Amino acid sequence: MAFSINLLRPQSPRVDPLNHLEDYDSSSSTDSEDTARHARSRAAFVPSTSATGSSDSPRSTVFLFPPSRPIGRSPVSSTASSTPVPSRSTSPLPQFYPPNHSSSCPSDTDSEPHSPLMRNPNLHPWWRDNRRGWWSMSRRRRKRSGYVVRTLKRWMRRMLRHPFFPSQPITIVLTLILLSVFAIFLTLLLIYILNPDKEPLPWRAYCSIPSLAPQPSMPFSPHIYPEIIPGQLLAPFPPPNLDSLPPAGVFIGIFSVDSAFERRMLVRTTWASHPRSRRGSAGGDDGTGTSRTLVRFIVGQPRKDWERRIKLEMEMYNDIVILPMPENMNGGKSHTFFSWASINAWVPPVYGQFEIPPRQFSYSNHTALPPSFAPHDPVQVWENVHSSKPRPWVRPDYVVKVDDDSFVMLAELESRLRVELYMKQKNHNNTALHQEGISSKPGTHNTMHNITSLLPSPHPLLHVRQDVVNNDPLIYWGYLVTNRLHQFMAGELYALSWSLVEWVAKDPTVKTLVRGAEDKQTSKWMRAHPRASEVRWTSEHCWIYDHPRSGTVYSHGFLFPSEAARIRRSMQADLEKMTQLGVGTQIPAMAGSLVPTPAAWAHSSVSTFGVRYTPPLPELTSTQSVEALVEGSDMSTIREGNPMTPEYAWTHREGRKTRYEGKRVGGTIVVHFIKKNMWYLETALALLEGEEFSEAEKYESQRAALDAVHVAHMSQRQR
């Protein structure tokens, strides 16, 4: 009966689940048609009346979720008449969970209040607070966020389906080759654009009339000495009273690595100890000038495989300094070296008496016991230590940093630094520039100093400064490189006076500028000096150059004073032509074929910029091939088809006395970029070896002597 009554009762209206979903969040719902289809397939549970046929059932409407009620177990009396409710949502989407409703299913909510599968209405997960997930994102927003990805995919598909896109193995390989060639070409192009050294330098102007060379302008340029006077010839070096000055104390640190044993041995046996390097040419001065010059090798912490070798080498030669840092080139090694030198650098005192007494500086009274000697140390050091009264050592006047691919003539280097130490620059108002810190015209080329002398000499050239009380010189000496980006002393060799070394080691600002290209960083240190306007940037452009085989903008043949004199005469003749044509001497202008071009001022009889060196003739002997590397020599100009033979050119070469014009110093200081040991030996043969007179000069000397005897005999017969 109850069943029949239930059939006659009008059915309760059904609630469409989709309409119920729209009522829930119609503003934000963006489900696709697939979502709607999924919702229809999962229709809500529709309860029927109870078995008792009760017509006043409270649940005449289908709910996706039960109404809100306290958490807990339902009364037992209501379980029989209650409408069964599904225990989980009909939709898997989290947006359909009501925020504060709990299930009315009589499940074990009491025993599992924190089950991860059951919602706790008291907890608000972080991902639901003020955040909308990807499922609630509007369709327009999803389209906008994926537009870039879809565009890339679409273009990628078009490119892959393009008929010209390689699809076969051979075409893929060819494409990779073309891309590699393009990458190499682009890299070389960038290197060329960023490289400031695109044209050979006018080194002939540097060695004769520096004002003819283009003068690059730099913002915040330091005061560079000596100043350039338009049209003035570069006076020959040295001044006549050089040897009357006490020698300068020079500590040279050669940057090396643990594995460069062969290069260190080449240095020890050549320019570090050779008499012609320490004494100079034309008989020398018995090593007096370099009696205070020491050479040491500077290395970082050696690797494990080289530790024992370095220790044995140190025991043998006593000329290696190990810095407390890993080996590096631009990671602060230079600053560590100068910091070490500010504490541990010592040189011998002045031995002997000189016409001019040594200058007194703030560090002159600092002394220490002599350290262990190296085999290539000056002879005077060994003589003094074996005497009855050995003298203590003192602080150096200069600390010099040198690369191990540089060949240094010690007598030449010391003589230039000695002149700077005892020299006093003057401007047009005869005011000492080292005190004023101003320069009338900055320049970049080492002309002869405009200096006078306090000596009673009829032709003075040196001015000896006597105001020495706590007035240490601030000298930054080397080869000045100037381009559109930088201005610094080249890293193959540069020298700092002792006051600068002490300041570099202690200044906190310098310690923040230790990483990077070390020569450029050193120039930044000089600009950061509190007396930066008084730092004397002294440049030497003529006698510091690269090896003739290197082919760089700084390379030319091995240069001697005799060839430099011929260049000066040639450039002076060119200057007279320019003056007659009314061309200025400051800028090398094109004024017809009579005026030489800058290319002519960069000409070398040995090397050509950017071209690999080849000997003038094949099958030259070793001595003849070295002679062919000398600038202006007959051997360097000989070519195939030339009537001059190599034997004739060798016989009529210049001897060392002629090349040095009878002087002790005045020639090459540093030859750089010696990347091969063979080039190193060539440099040693060219600068250290050779006879004082060639065969032709000996013959001419004998012939002149015979002619003199013959003339004397004829004059006696006439009487």
CA distance 84 to 46: 9
- Residues 525, 462: contact at Cβ < 8 Å? no
Q: Which residue reads 């360097």 in tokens?
A: 636
Domain co-membership, 602 together with 669? yes
Say if residue 293 is in the same domain as residue 405: yes
Whether the CB-CB separation of 69 and 20 falls below 8 Å is answered with no
- 180 with 246, same domain? no
- Report d(CA 128, CA 97) in Å as an integer: 11
Q: 481 with 332, same domain?
A: yes
pLDDT value at residue 561: 96
User: Residues 397-432, buried b or exposed e (16+ Cβ, 10 A)?
Assistant: bbbbbbbbbbbbbbbbbbbbbbbbbbbbbbeeeeee
Considering the domain architecture, whether residues 534 and 614 belong to the same structural domain is answered as: no
In contact, 234 and 542? CB cutoff 8 Å = yes
- Is residue 631 within 8 A of residue 558, CB to CB? The reply is yes
Alpha carbons 393 and 390: distance in angstroms, whole number: 10
Question: What φ, ψ does residue 300 adopt, rounded to 5°?
Answer: -85, -170
CA 256 to CA 514: how far, in whole Å?
18
Sorted by sequence, the CB contacts under 8 Å of residue 499 that are 6+ apart come out as 362, 363, 472, 473, 474
575 and 522 share one domain: no
Residue 375 sits in the same domain as residue 523:
yes
The alpha carbon of residue 293 and the mean position of all alpha carbons in its chain are separated, in whole angstroms, by: 28
In contact, 337 and 323? CB cutoff 8 Å: yes
CATH number at residue 336: 3.90.550
The span from the CA of 456 to the CA of 24, in Å, is 112
Number of domains into which the chain is organized: 3
Distance CA 595, CA 575 (A): 8
Is 713 within a domain? no
- Residue at 335 is within a domain: yes
Task: Assess whether 576 and 519 both reside in one domain.
Answer: no
Instruction: Spell 125-138 as b/e; 16+ CB within 10 A means b.
Output: eeeeeeeeeeeeee
pLDDT number for residue 220 = 64
Residue 551 lies in a domain: no
Judge if 171 and 265 occupy the same domain. Answer: no
Question: Which of 700, 629, 619, 692 minimizes the C-alpha distance to 660?
Answer: 692
DSSP string, 93-129: -GGGS-TT----S--STTT-TT-TTS--TT---GGGS
Name residues of the chain where pLDDT drops below 50.
Answer: 1-13, 15-66, 68-82, 87-89, 91, 93-117, 127, 425-469, 585-595
How many whole angstroms separate alpha carbon 273 and alpha carbon 615? Answer: 30
271 touches 682 (CB < 8 A): no
User: What pLDDT sits at residue 171?
Assistant: 87
- List 393's β-bridge partners, or say none: 368
Task: Identify whether 225 is part of a domain.
Answer: no
Query: DSSP letter string over 236-297?
Result: -SS-TTGGGSPPPPEEEEEE--TT-HHHHHHHHHTTTT-HHHHT-STT--TT-TTTTEEEEE
Note whether 394 and 519 are same-domain residues.
yes
pLDDT confidence of residue 610 = 85
Task: Give the SS3 label for residue 685.
Answer: helix
Q: Give the model's pLDDT for residue 234.
A: 84
Cβ 383 vs Cβ 304: under 8 Å: no
Tokens of 460: 């003075």
Residue 27 lies in a domain: no
Q: Are residues 189 and 241 in the same domain?
A: no
Confidence (pLDDT) at 427 = 40
Residue 465 lies in a domain: no
Domain span at 248: 214-219+234-423+472-540
The three state secondary structure string of 303-350 is: CHHHHHHHHHHHHHHCCEEEEEEECCCCCCHHHHHHHHHHHHCCECCC
Q: Are residues 265 and 384 in the same domain?
A: yes
The verdict on residue 619 lying in a domain is: yes
Is 177 a member of any domain?
Answer: yes
pLDDT score for 133: 55
